[in-house]
Each structure stands twice: as structure tokens, then as C-alpha cells.
Homo-oligomer: A and B are copies of this chain.
């Protein structure tokens, strides 16, 4: 498999155009490809043959067999050969690690996960864990296809080149453990909230949106004008500004953390809550608070409302400053967030101006980051197919 290493600029250009069409259009006829690439039939079919031999695309059933034409000679049809390459996405969180292998179209082939105690994890353990997960999903995918890209999401800012700033302390450095050097093939490191944003954006490609990845902390992935924002040192989407903006010391604390904090504060100031008071303070989890709220517990409801109001303030800033139309809450707790978002929608008109953004919870659950990683991998391929399919050297 592989194309002529040295080809003319023009041919390269046309092959790329054709591959891009293959990526976006499923099965296609020569006529469609002619339209997309503005080449003649002879050239398109020539390229298709070449790419078929190289293994990047394959011939599909013809237009008559597919029931698309009645008269005339049936058109040959081609499609991207999904099995021509493998991509792997990894969510290398603080404690939770997930990996997913997918084909060229982004269809999942295998997944794996692992939990580690963040207190005892060092760079070596992070690297070996990711190595193992990659190996696992690669084997489980039962694919002999070449691994084209591995995208790794980490909970630290990452700039456009995959680097994280050196912090006082070493948390970011620990998270950005230098994966590229320890894995096969091209490796892309990206911030986890950014990957969530890519996952959500893939479902609404034309929309300006912010994705808030919430959990113990909160981070935003910002998609404006079709671009993911990075900023200097990968700082875009960093939420520490909340401290300055909302003038409290909560900063980038996440929903789970706030749920616990405010519940315990409520209990400490003597508020009654049969459901929550029964749980020992160090065992209380966000899930408990959400459950109690669902069951009608008043303290829990207040806490959730307060979280909703906080999200409304964040939303007000994002909408006005960035012209965002849609805000997605993602992360493990996303599925429980509807009551919180209800409150957000309620108060938003009081603190912001129309048009108000859509506020939704992500439907991707714990897989957002890993799905975003796959999405990122596939869109890299789409944008520059030859760089990854037929790399130089």
C-alpha cells in the first residue's frame, strides 16, 4: 500500500481533493467527484483506479445495483476504504484513562479503560498506562491497518504545538507526560475540554459553541467561526478568570466540587436535609446531591439552583464576548444536569441580553473526550489526507 512517493504538485492536489470528497460524501460516482473536484471524468476515474490500487478507496456496488439509476450504463461507485487506516483516541485524565480505536470514518472499533489512584501516579505510570491501553484497543480492533494518528486528551492547557506551559509545581507537566516520544506513529496532544468541544461541534458544524467540561474542575473548549481557540500557552478556555469576574474565590471549581462544597456549607449553617445529613461529610458525592435534588430535598435543590445561576453567569460572559450560540455541558455528571440547566435558562434573561444561547447537556457521557479525540483525528485526516495516509520519509 502506498502511492508513488514523488508525484507532481498538481497530481497531489487532485488526489487530495478526491480524498477529501471521499471523506465527506460516503459512496460517490465519478460524476459527483467531477463536480467536487472540477476534473474531467477521465482524470477522476484514473485517480480512482490509482487510489483503489493504493488501498485508500474501494469500489462499491454500481449505481444500478444500488437502485439509483434505471437507464443507461450503470455508474461505477467508490467509497473511502474505512479499513485503510486506524486512529486511536485516548482520554488521559487525572484518574480515569480511556482509549478508543476507530476506523477512517470515526466508527468505533474497540474501547478500553482503566482507573488509577492519582496520588501515586507519576509520568512513567501515565505513559505505560496509555501505552497499554493503546495496545489493547489496537489488538481488540482486529485491524491490520496502519495506525495513522493517536490523539491524547489531557487535563492541562495545551498550545497549538501540543506543549503545555511549565507551571509552578508540576501538575501540568505530569499530565502532559511527553506521550509522543513513547508511542508509535504521529501523536497529537490536546486539552481534554478542547476535545469535548470538537466532539460536540462535530454534531453541529456551523454553530459557534462553548463546551464546558465539568467535574472536579471546569474547563471550556471554545469553537468560534469554525476554529478551536488555543491562545498563548494554550490558555484559551482556562476558567480561572471567574475569580476576577465573579469576585469570589471559587474560580474554576467544577460542578461536582461545588455540589459538595455548598451542601456541606448548608449543613454546617444548620440547614436541615434528612437525605444529605445522613451521609458522612467525607463520603458525600455530587451524585448524592443530584439524587436528593431529584427526590425533592430542599437543600439539594438550592445547591443545584445556585450552580445553575453560576453557569448562567458564565454563559452570559461567553455569549457576549464570543458570540456563542450554544453551550454544552459535558463530563461524567452531564446526564444529571438538566435540573441545573433549567435554572440557568430561567435566570439568564435577567443578567444577559438576547439572543440567548441554547443550553444543553452533552449526550456523550463519559466518552466525550475520547470521542472528541477520534473526531480530531478524523478531521485532521480530512483536512490533509496525504500527510497522514502517505507520509514522507
A351-B244 contact given A13-B9, A322-B229, CB 8 Å threshold: yes
Q: Is A324 on the interface with B (CB-CB < 8 A)?
A: yes
Q: Which residue of B lies closest to A241 (CB)?
A: B320
Copy tally for this chain in the complex stands at: 2
Is there contact, CB below 8 Å, between A241 and B323?
A: no
Q: Which residue of B lies closest to A237 (CB)?
A: B321
- Complex Cα spacing A229 to B352, Å: 20
Q: Which residue of B lies closest to A315 (CB)?
A: B244
Q: Which residue of B lies closest to A231 (CB)?
A: B323
Is there contact, CB below 8 Å, between B351 and A235?
A: no
CB distance from A45 to the nearest CB of B (A): 18
Partner of A232, one of B238, B247, B321, B325: B325
Cβ contacts under 8 Å, A240 to chain B: 320, 352-353
Is there contact, CB below 8 Å, between B225 and A320?
A: no
A224-B230 contact given A316-B241, A320-B241, CB 8 Å threshold: yes
Q: Is A70 on the interface with B (CB-CB < 8 A)?
A: no
Residues of A in contact, count (CB < 8 Å): 43
Q: Is A71 on the interface with B (CB-CB < 8 A)?
A: no
Cβ contacts under 8 Å, A355 to chain B: 232-233
Residues 273-306 of A, flagged 1 when their CB comes within 8 A of B and 0 if not, give 0000000000000000000000000000000000
A245-B13 contact given A233-B323, A234-B323, A323-B231, CB 8 Å threshold: no
Q: Is A128 on the interface with B (CB-CB < 8 A)?
A: no
Tell me the residues in window 182-239 of chain A with beta carbons closer than 8 Å to chain B beta carbons. Answer: 207-208, 220, 224-225, 227, 229-239
Q: Is A1 on the interface with B (CB-CB < 8 A)?
A: no
Q: Which residue of B lies closest to A352 (CB)?
A: B244
Q: Which of A13, A229, A322, A324 has the most CB of B within 10 A?
A: A322
Is there contact, CB below 8 Å, between B229 and A225?
A: yes
Is there contact, CB below 8 Å, between A316 and B208?
A: no
Cβ contacts under 8 Å, A231 to chain B: 208, 224-225, 322-324
Partner of A224, one of B233, B236, B244, B316: B236
- Complex Cα spacing A72 to B224, Å: 53
- Complex Cα spacing A245 to B225, Å: 24
Is there contact, CB below 8 Å, between B323 and A238?
A: yes
CB distance from A345 to the nearest CB of B (A): 15
Partner of A230, one of B207, B234, B236, B323: B323
Chain A interfacial positions (CB closer than 8 Å to B): 9-10, 13, 157, 160, 207-208, 220, 224-225, 227, 229-241, 243-247, 313, 316-317, 319-325, 351-353, 355
Question: What would 25 A/B residue contacts be, using CB atoms closer than 8 Å?
Answer: A9-B13, A10-B10, A208-B231, A224-B230, A224-B231, A225-B227, A225-B230, A229-B229, A229-B322, A230-B323, A231-B324, A232-B355, A233-B355, A235-B319, A235-B320, A240-B352, A240-B353, A241-B316, A241-B321, A243-B351, A244-B313, A244-B320, A245-B317, A246-B247, A321-B321
Apart from A13-B13, A225-B229, 16 more pairs, CB < 8 Å: A224-B230, A224-B231, A229-B322, A231-B322, A231-B323, A232-B355, A236-B322, A236-B323, A238-B320, A238-B321, A240-B352, A241-B317, A241-B320, A241-B321, A244-B317, A245-B316
